[in-house]
Amino acid sequence: MTPRYTRPEMGHIWSRQHYFQCQLEVEIAVCEAWAEVGLIPRADIEKIRGASFSIDRIDEIESTTDHETDAFVAATAETLGPESRWLHYGLTSSDVLDTGLSLQLVAAADQLLERLRNLESVASKRALEHKKTLTIARTHGIHAEPTTFGFKLLVWVDEIRRQIRRLEDAKEQIAYGKISGSVGTHANVPPQVEEIACANLGLNFANVSNQILQRDRHAQFLTTLAIIGGSLEKFSTELRSLQRTEIGETEEHFGEGQHGSSSMPHKRNPFRLERICGLARLLRANAHAALENMALWHERDMSNSSLERVILPDATIALDFMLWQFGRILGGLRVNVARMRENLDFTHGLIYSQGILLALIEAGMSRQEAYAAVHEHAMQAFNDGTPLNELLAADSQVTELIDEDSLRGYFQPDRHLKWIDTAYSRLGLDSSNDQGG
């Protein structure tokens, strides 16, 4: 992943130093387990705990061996004495690589969960702030009925919470190690060593494995990241649309001295939101690649390995950046309350047609007759701009059933908001301190 989209915390998790450090932790944990079952002398373990490595030395050895794990083990052994013979005892490369990778993925998941929980907090705060900020809801891109901007955000809060639960589950499924030897039969490393080592690393142990951890775990993890990215793309697409000049209801923060275009000085573009949408496509592509990695030959082949060195860091780094970026956008989002109200009135009252329809039905008119009556006036209002309430007030068929005061009441947006407190309550949000306009 390009450094442009790499936040320091996630970048560290996927650095080469941390990559090998996780493998060293696995090697030491296995030696600790061997000592616990009585194979490795305690004096040797004390020295093995002080093992280290040099990336330059690993690279130097690998240039000859063309085998990264052997180079890592050899470079680490050079920092020890005779006790180095216990490093990698009974193991295959994947015992170390897959278990070390799980440590990295768990750390990445924790970082992403922190970002998600922060985003949920920001979205909840703004949903409360704009609980009563009237705006027009759109279906098919067309004005539908009144809603509030806070209610829009409340839908996002619920979705973010679902994403937190999904990622927690994906983290649980990836928090596994395997120390079971070359084909998983424990021929050279007993199950007890695996169980002790994984526990020491804070991981579960795979009940059964072949040479590797099965890649359905990694596929679930990356598809979960793609789903989270899909939500961020959805949120960003909505805000991008609302920022369009002819709508103008929200806007990304535009800082002092910021430029929107190299050629048009007036431009204020939603480029951060567009960036999030673009990276969401990368997450979906990586998820597809992870699904392709599930089918390997026999006890394993290595066709998954090279791909995972790209898609796992890239996906977690990209989503980390997206969550960080969107949290900042939403927290600093400019909400144009006056423009929302202006747009609410744009269709001369057409958005209140359903209330009149239902009122006529309640007054005794058949649904078909009521729909036809309201539809006729709505189409006239749409075509010539005459306010719908004026057309209805001039129709004796309507006024015989709905008096003038009641008719005016159906053209008030507040009547559409009488139940939104229920949704806030269902999400456990205290809306008593809302500040909406």
pLDDT tens digits, one per residue of 28-83: 999 999 999 999 999 999 999 999 999 999 999 999 999 999 999 999 999 999 99
Buried (b) or exposed (e) across 34-72, using 16+ Cβ within 10 A?
bbeeeebeeebbebbeebebeeebbeebbeeeeebbbbb
pLDDT per residue as tens digits for the range 40-53: 999 999 999 999 99
288 is catalytic: no
Q: What share of the chain is helix, strand, coil (3-state, %, to 5)?
A: 65, 5, 30
Q: What pLDDT, in 10s, does the model give residues 8-18?
A: 999 999 999 99
Question: 54, 67, 253, 261: which one is catalytic?
Answer: 261
Per the residue annotation, which of 140, 262, 298, 306 is the catalytic one? 140
- For 117-135, what is the mean pLDDT? 97
Which residue did the predictor score with more confidence, 404 or 123?
A: 123
The pLDDT of residue 60: 97
* Residues linked to residue 136 through DSSP beta bridges, in sequence order: 146
Active site residue 261: yes
- Phi/psi at 138 (nearest 5 deg)? -125, 135
pLDDT 10s digits, 156-215: 999 999 999 999 999 999 999 999 999 999 999 999 999 999 999 999 999 999 999 999
Percentage of residues of the chain with pLDDT beyond 90: 90
The predicted model gives 385-397 an average pLDDT of 92
Q: What percent of the chain has pLDDT over 70?
A: 98
CA 127 to chain CA centroid, nearest Å: 19
The two structure tokens encoding residue 141: 């891109």
Confidence band for 265, pLDDT divided at 50, 70 and 90:
confident
**Angstrom distances, CA of residue 187 to CA of 107, 211, 317, 335, 390:** 31, 12, 38, 64, 87
What local confidence, expressed as pLDDT, does residue 432 receive? 54
Q: How many CB atoms lie within 10 A of CB 112?
A: 25
pLDDT bracket for residue 235 (50, 70, 90): very high
pLDDT-based confidence at 137, cuts 50/70/90? very high
- 216 and 290 Cβ atoms separated by less than 8 Å: no
pLDDT at 435 over 50: no
Model confidence pLDDT, tens digit, residues 395-404: 999 999 999 8
Work out the angle at residue 168's Cα, subtended by the Cα atoms of residues 164 and 174, and round it to the nearest 5 degrees. Answer: 140
Which residue in the block uniquely carries the two structure tokens 């804070």? 202
DSSP conformation letters of 8-74: HHHHHHTSHHHHHHHHHHHHHHHHHHHHHTTSS-HHHHHHHTT----HHHHHHHHHHH--HHHHHHH
pTM for the predicted model, two decimal places = 0.93
- pLDDT class for 2, splitting at 50, 70, 90? confident
Does the structure show a pLDDT above 90 at 255?
Answer: no
261: phi > 0 → left, psi -120 to 50 → alpha, else beta; which? beta
Per-residue confidence (pLDDT) for residue 263, from 0 to 100: 78
pLDDT band at residue 267 under the 50/70/90 scheme: confident
For residues 132 and 355, give the distance between their C-alpha atoms in angstroms, rounded to a whole number.
20
pLDDT in tens, 305-330: 899 999 999 999 999 999 999 999 99
What type of residue is 298?
H
